Structure 1
Amino acid sequence: MPFLKSVLKQYDLVVDKLELPDGVRERLRHPKRSLIVSIPIEMDNGMINVYKGYRVQHDITLGPSKGGIRYHPNVNLEEVTALAMLMSWKCALMKLPYGGAKGGVCCTPAAMSLKEKERLTRRFTSEIIWAIGPEEDIPAPDMNTNMQTMAWMMDTYSMLKGHTTLGVVTGKPLVLGGSLGREEGTGRGVYYMVEESAKIMGKELKGLRVAIQGFGNVGSTAARLLFEQGSKVIAVSDSNGGIYNRNGIDIENLIQHVNENKAISHYPDVEIITNQDLLTIDCDALIPASVEGQITRYNAGNVKAGVIVEGANGPTTPEADMILSERNVRVIPDILANAGGVVISYFEWVQDLQFYFWKENEIQHRLKEIMAEIFNTVLSMSQKRKIDMRMAAWTLGINRIAEAQKIRGLYP
């Protein structure tokens, strides 16, 4: 099922159980703005290539829109629209003063030089400049973008505006107004959600058997933090496949191996598995942290994990959700599980606007406090209404936006 269709199906499943006026229901099905831009840049060989870029702002009822920028050959308007909608529910669920947005460029960053990516980023920023700003829409890093990408975006925006504007993006280097803890914020949030899930399973982190699909920033950070607490990370994968060791993998050594080899392949003393194999490994906690649509109706019946903590956006389809719910496999939904990144992005934005920066232990304490509070709120609603945690999380997020729309009214 196409990603946007899957997200809209989940939306309909939720709002069917809510008493929303038809106008509000229909209004939230559609993004407020969808921008498609042409991005011509000169390549290192002198040729001119033209790329297609997107920025979708789904909703701005609660505040300026917020969401990442991804560079990937599969980026398209439908994917970006679906991700922007998920960001709306995520920001509302986490009680942040943001709406949801997402952006991206259809390109193959692995085949581009650093200078080509810089030219791409600067031209893309100039094409969407009228739509972004610290009080309008605040981009952040996502798939194949990073602190350097955000530095280029901030610099381009500032040059065109004529003054330095730190708060136009988040996920920046510290020297340019970035926040301590931002780079590992999403992965740390996933770690906190595994910790909370272990409590309700009656288990401790020490000895907890964990499988992680995706070993990028999110997956590797969660793996490292769990490994430091004594969890057994028994399986890990990247885009080329996975590795398995029933006794646990030394994550610190694996991270060093990946830094040197740019992949997990050829890591010693492990069994080679596929990404699909990883999803059905016998474990306590499964963390899908790669891309959407990984757990489907075709493999959900074979999932052996006690809990799934969604590090990626949309890794589980609505059909898979129903199968997992029937099998009593608890799913910590993406809009909660991977919200650590946008929470610390909010911290960074606040610090930039105030020109006052916090200590890292203060940031981590605030993040853990917020994540644990929302987790327990979602869990409580799930238990009270006898619905799964995704349904509870989406209900809380959508209701918050719907209530705000009702109070604000409809202009004109």
Structure 2
Amino acid sequence: MTGNITTQQTVYATVTHDVPAWLVIDRIRNGLAFGGFRFSDGVDLDQVSLLASAMSWKLAAHGLPVGGAKAGICCRPDHPRIGAMLKDLASAWRQPLLEHVILGKDMGASDALLDQLYAELGRPQLHLVQTNSPTAPARIRDLSGYVRDMTGLGAVIAAEAAIGSLKGKRVLIQGAGIVGAGVAIRAKQRGAIVGGMSDVDRAVVSANGLPVAELALAARDQERPFCLALLEAVGGTWMPRDQMLAEKADVLFLAAGSHVVTKTLAETIRSEVVIEASNFGLTPDANAALFARNILVVPDIISSSSSAAMTTHQLATGNGWQSGPLWDHIENNIRTAVTNGLLQASRSRVPLRDAYRAMYGTVLSH
């Protein structure tokens, strides 16, 4: 591997069974580009391109082990023709998947869907890593350091870097999928009180906190609506989904979809700090509205970087890190990005996102 960086985005666009799909390579580093594969009927090329760029920015604070990429298909993962679609995409994207790109999970994706894509390709998911490191595992989920709820763990680390210990702090979580449930579990482990959560249909809040860890596992196993399970179990207060944002809290974690918090919703937020655990959970106008109100936003390119960092460090080294040292390294990088970014943001009177880009832009320009 050369260590050189290729920076111009490359787009592979195709249509399968009347459904558009895109693979975008933002840049190639050390011969590789990595990103998730999103299955959503709301995805489009602009979003996939933005996500690919965001992946590179996430990795900048972690030394850019590999370049950023992203894939998306404009349908739900339960589409009746999804198997045939994956076969078409494996053929259409064969060159980049054989030469540079490794795809992991994103919204709507599952291990089974990714396994099927690579089965159609006729290669293991990590065949590009195995070329240089034959003892590396075949799948991302078998890498050393792959732990449950690791995106949530990174978001919680970012929150602690911003405000100190979470012990006794009241947190709200928008989103009850894999990331939202992971944030809840990791935040409770650090002593936080999970005062409210919302899913796609409703929100539930409780002054005494929600028993999230147990119910998260139960909801996953039973494939039941997460907040309905909470409501039935603890008898908390029900409210419309977006109304929860107006509840008072120390920290609000955004762990739902992209650009779901608009300026109008942002103006109702009463939390002191907002953590973007999802990819750009705030619209640009919402970001500006929160900055004008002196509400700190820790952006996704910091707080949603831990999973990508873990994976790409291992891709770049052929699974060469041990889990403990790797996670110590990731935590240190996130805390450094937040701490130094806050100092720069205060001096320059800009949002933390802008300060981060100024600090780490040189990583992406070389």
What TM-score, normalized by structure 2, do the two folds share? 0.86
3-state SS, counterpart of residue 110 of structure 1: coil
CA contact (8 A) 1:308 1:330 kept: yes
Partner of 2:3: none
1:126 and 2:91 aligned: yes
Does the 8 A contact of 1:147 with 1:173 survive in 2?
Answer: no
**Which of 320-329 and 280-289 deviates more?**
320-329
Q: Against the structure 1 CA distance between its residues 129 and 319, is the aligned structure 2 distance closer, same or farther, given a 3 Å change threshold?
A: same
Equivalence for 2:346:
383
CA–CA distance in structure 1, aligned partners of residues 54 and 152 of structure 2: 18
Match of 1:208 in 2: 169
Question: Matched residues, percent identical?
Answer: 22
Structure 1 equivalent of residue 204 of structure 2:
243
Q: CA deviation at 1:70?
A: 0.7
Aligned to 1:191: 156
Per-residue deviation, 1:335: 0.4
- Provide structure 2 residue ranges, at least 5 long, that are not aligned to the other structure: 1-5
CA spacing shift, 1:291–1:254, aligned 2, 3 Å? same
**1:311 equivalenced with 2:277 (yes/no):** yes
Is the contact made by 1:170 and 1:348 (CA closer than 8 Å) also made in structure 2?
A: no
Do the aligned partners of 2:30 and 2:316 also contact (CA within 8 Å) in 1? no
Cα–Cα, structure 1 residues 160 and 320, in superposed 2: closer, same or farther, change >3 Å? closer
- Write out per-residue CA displacement over residues 259-311 of structure 1, whole angstroms, 9 at most, x where no aligned residue: 22421225321122223112221100000111122332212222111100101
Q: Evaluate the alpha carbon distance shift between residue 171 and residue 276 of structure 1 in structure 2; reply closer, same or farther with a 3 A threshold.
A: farther
Contact 2:77 2:109 in 1 (8 A): no
Counterparts of 2:176 and 2:138 in 1: how far apart (Å)?
Answer: 19
Q: Hey, what's the Cα distance between the residues in 1 that align with 2:297 and 2:138?
A: 28
RMSD: 2.9
Q: Unaligned regions of 5+ residues in structure 1, if any? A: 1-26, 40-48, 405-412
| CA distance in 2: counterparts of 1:338 and 1:187, whole angstroms | 8
2:101 partner letter: D
Counterpart among 91, 98, 105 of residue 141 in structure 1 = 105
The residue type equivalent to 1:300 in the other structure is: A
Give the C-alpha shift of residue 214 in structure 1: 1.0
Instruction: Verify the 8 A CA contact 1:139 1:170 in the aligned structure 2.
Output: no
| CA distance 1:139–1:368, change in 2 (3 Å) | same
1:222 aligns with one of 180, 183, 188: 183
Residues 187-225 of structure 1: CA deviation (Å, up to 9, x unaligned): 1101111221221xxxx3221100001111211111101
- In the TM superposition, what whole-angstrom CA distance separates every residue of 1:219-242 from its partner, at most 9, and x where no partner exists? 111110111222110111122222
Q: Does 1:262 align with 2:228?
A: no
How many residues matched?
352
Deviations 1:10-29 (A, max 9, x none): xxxxxxxxxxxxxxxxx98x
On the 8 A contact 2:104/2:140 being kept in 1, the answer is no
Q: Provide Cα deviations, 1:127-151, integer angstroms capped at 9, x if missing partner.
A: 2021234x62222110111333333
Aligned equivalent of 2:45, options 49, 70, 77: 77
Cα shift at 1:358: 4.5
User: For residue 14 of structure 2, what is the aligned residue in structure 1?
Assistant: 37
TM-score of the superposition, structure 1-length normalised?
0.77
Distance in structure 2 (CA, Å) of the matches to 1:171 and 1:213:
34
